[in-house]
Homo-oligomer: A and B are copies of this chain.
């Protein structure tokens, strides 16, 4: 698929999803989405911005940042777990797992023997020096559910 096709395809995909939410499809949004798909390393807004500003010198960092947040709200993309918040510390160094509330950021520890015993795929084990693993469960916590209901 050449660049032109990718642009068209990307544009079409965005057009559908954006129409559903009454949002406009702007050149900036198309460029940002295209760049994010091309980048394989889960880049930050800064990284995306640096890459596209060569071809689009007028684009502002704010637009890139706000656009990515918009995409994430629509569910078009996801923020990498934990990233974007101040560094948080866990005194529990034994293996355990985390439930994270996507709304308020609350983290609840839980134990699960099944999860502790997971076999890491060879694809990863053979390529990297694996030190540990954990399961992250995402959802809405009890308090946030309550608040959402109360707001209605």
Interface residues of A (CB under 8 A from B): 33, 36-37, 41-46, 48, 68, 71-72, 75-93, 98-99, 101-102, 106-108, 110, 112, 114-115, 118-121, 123-124, 127-142, 145
Contact = CB atoms under 8 A, between A and B. Distances in A.
Given A78-B89, A79-B87, A84-B88, 9 more contacts: A41-B106, A43-B88, A48-B89, A80-B88, A81-B134, A83-B83, A99-B130, A115-B118, A134-B138
Contacts of A130: 99, 137-139
Majority SS at the chain A contact face: mixed
- Stoichiometry, copies per complex: 2
A133 to B, nearest CB: 5
